[in-house]
Structure 1
Amino acid sequence: MGETILITAGGTGGHLFPAYALAAELERRGYDVDLATDERADKYGERFPGREVHVIQSETLRGRSPLALMRTAFRLGRGTLQALSLIRRTKPKAIIGFGGYPTFPPMFAGFLAGVPTILHEANAVMGRANRMLAGRVKVVALGLSGGSGGTVAPEKNVITGNPVRPAVLAAMGKAYAAPKAGEEFRLLIFGGSQGARFFSEMVPEALGMLDDAHRRQLALTMQARAEDLENVRDRLASIGIKAELAPFFTDMAERIADAHLVVCRSGAMSVTELGVIGRPAILVPFPHALDHDQALNASVLKKAGGAWPVAQAELTPARFAETLAQLMDEPERLAKAADAAGSVGEPGAVIRLADLAEHVCRGGDAKDFDKGDNS
């Protein structure tokens, strides 16, 4: 058996997917990798590639009343005790957290137990749970350059990029082929774990505003919540749109690679995967995201010329229909944006983060790693 590294991540795909990617790379290097989270880790259709999954109790801040704060503190405290017990059993050489409140008990327990810790921040702005932990960890790994880890502890920062799953790296090899006039136009729309309902309501109305030629050209793949599927399917069928609908697609990387245009939220991993695969996108930042992190994430691809961010409040059905028709008629513009998106992709992020993990296991810190002493 090899040395153990404990990874901890919240329950969303944006937290779990980079954790899975790192686990697979560390396991390939001979480490035993465990995952600590607060719920089932296979709900996105992928098995955790490491040794074992441990469910640790956690809680999100749900209010400011004394009772709510006491409840949160109790559950986080109980989770910390569970995590301390796990650390005593598995004796990890390092603990790596990928954000979300479920990472707080294992990361804080690691601090109490004297285990070296790495905090990975995927977004362009640091999340609240990570801000609570940043002062106590050894290294802060930033997924998007320009991330705000520096507002907490700049001397701990290392820019690693966001690790992507093997399926994303495989999809990276598919070149973008802009659609020719009159050919099928493959449009992919997804909303992630938050905000899919907006697309379910807006998109059918918008596509109904297209002329017949554009509607016949469209081949739509769209994520919709289970309770919205029948209504969305009926509305699209009534206007003659060919569509494949599902609450979740387990082969999303391949679908991104197959698309001529992607419309989605701008969570950190969506932005990262669009960059690695190299596909043009209309990005609609989730307006209720804490700290407006999705708007800042979207700016990464916008600055490169690979995406067109639009605020949800401004994306009316009429505007979406007009923008879509224009892009369908300008394949060279789409091809240029695909190249631009690909220019900011970081397919080597998982290697760099795994190198950093090994560096910290050997007692290194951010300063030594940045000097290149990471062999």
Structure 2
Amino acid sequence: MRTRRAGAQRFALLAGGGTGGHLAPAIALAEALEEQHGAGSVELVVSRRGLAATEGMAGALPVSSLPGRGVRRAFSPGALVDNLGALGQLALAGVQALGLVARRRPAVVVGVGGYASVPVALAGRLLGVPLVVVDVDAVPGLANRFLARFAAATAAAWPDSGLPRAVLTGPPIRREVAAVGGRGPAGPSAAARERLGLPPARRTVCVVGGSLGARRLNEAALGLATAWASRSDLTLYHVVGRRDWPWVAEAAPSLPPDGLSYKAVPFEEHMADLYQAADLVVARAGAMTVAELAVVGVPAVLVPLPGAPGDHQRHNAELLSRAGAAEVVADDEASAARLAEVVSALLDQPEKRLAMARAARALGRPDGTLAVLALVEAHARPRGSAAGRRS
């Protein structure tokens, strides 16, 4: 087990996968817990494979990592071998998680989803530590469905999760996003565009490929930049993702100086500014993307990731689509030509975009972090108990 900025005891261990989709709600909740219990009172526990994703996101939070990887949902001989290896790593992670929980003596363990949450949550239950599960997807993932059986409570982001002892809280939202409070009728913010280095007066389309990247969206964004090369009224802000950045940076088109304003970045640390700057966001339908679009009230075109466990991204996207807050384009249809057609139609209909923004805000829960915080506090062991005592 590798540990960064480790300490002795913690009030809470927050365990989950190493992708941005799991880390964003975990960090939002961790920051709120630290405000209550002091710096160093909360520790993130992630998969070793996902440890790199914490860089730039976790800040000063203590982080530990455990071995492990997800199972392949296939029945080929290769998948069987891989899954046997995954089970072996999970067993090793369980042993290391027992040691970690015994040393930290937390008052509560919080599972935020993904296979990395399983060993820590089970270790905590074996040692008598209460478990709270945080579920942020429209359809709960396999790890959360399993762990919810042992949880004192489940914080559900959306209604009808089907999980036992579920409390509808909304998802934990990053502080800076919740602070936006929803865009008003004036729409996008020229000041936010300037903070991102974008022309303040141009309509702005943001394509977001996620913390790692979405190749389909990145290819389409490059195609949009080429198709819109002569558009002097538009900005295309392209958040590529770290994995795809090298080839996208090399493939970026050369544009005329008086045409499209195109800016690509590997990662965007200030998503609140992006949401405020955008007339329209094109993105995958990860749980936190959907939740944050709703909180701020941003019209969106969502391209769900095909093959996501439980098809959860499609279900996430449909939450906004049914409310009239987003258009959904299937991944295999998400060419530059198709996205240009959908995006251009929305850009030409400001009243429709305003209605989409209102519909999104009606779904958003900017108080989600506080609601989850209250649930975690309610089920944590008293500080005077063996698990909850702090030094």
1:166 aligns to what? 175
Q: Give the alignment's TM-score, normalised by structure 1.
A: 0.86
Contact 1:261–1:280, Cα closer than 8 Å, also in 2 = yes
Change (3 A) 1:48 1:96: farther
1:358 aligns to what? 377
Identity %, equivalent residues: 35
Farther-moved stretch of structure 1 (200-209 vs 122-131): 200-209
Q: How many Å apart are 1:78 and its aligned residue?
A: 1.0
Change (3 A) 1:136 1:331: same
2:16 aligns to what? 9
Change (3 A) 1:24 1:298: same
Match of 1:20 among 17, 27, 43: 27
Change (3 A) 1:14 1:211: closer
Contact 2:282–2:301, Cα closer than 8 Å, also in 1 = yes
1:110 aligns to what? 124
Determine helix, strand or coil for the equivalent of 2:310: helix
2:239 aligns to what? 223
**Cα deviations by residue, 1:217-272 (Å, 9 ceiling, x for unpaired):** 11111022213323442266699421110121111221111111111011000000
1:305 and 1:343 map into 2 onto residues whose CA distance is 11
Change (3 A) 1:90 1:21: same
Q: CA RMSD in A?
A: 2.6
Q: For structure 2, list consecutive stretches of 5 or more residues without a partner in the other structure.
A: 1-7, 189-200, 383-391
2:225 and 2:52 map into 1 onto residues whose CA distance is 36
Contact 2:229–2:259, Cα closer than 8 Å, also in 1 = no
Farther-moved stretch of structure 1 (199-208 vs 92-101): 199-208
Contact 1:268–1:297, Cα closer than 8 Å, also in 2 = yes
2:208 aligns to what? 190
Give the number of aligned pairs: 354
Contact 1:41–1:48, Cα closer than 8 Å, also in 2 = no
Determine helix, strand or coil for the equivalent of 2:120: helix
1:268 aligns to what? 287
Contact 1:118–1:140, Cα closer than 8 Å, also in 2 = yes
**Cα deviations by residue, 1:112-155 (Å, 9 ceiling, x for unpaired):** 222110111110111122223222222222112233xx1xx43x
Match of 2:319 among 300, 321, 329: 300
Contact 1:207–1:321, Cα closer than 8 Å, also in 2 = no
1:54 aligns with 2:67: no
1:371 aligns to what? none
Contact 1:143–1:160, Cα closer than 8 Å, also in 2 = yes
Q: How many Å apart are 1:322 and its aligned residue?
A: 2.1
**Cα deviations by residue, 1:59-89 (Å, 9 ceiling, x for unpaired):** 2114655543332222111111111111111
Q: For structure 1, list consecutive stretches of 5 or more residues without a partner in the other structure.
A: 364-375
**Cα deviations by residue, 1:334-373 (Å, 9 ceiling, x for unpaired):** 112111111111011111111101111158xxxxxxxxxx
Change (3 A) 1:226 1:208: closer
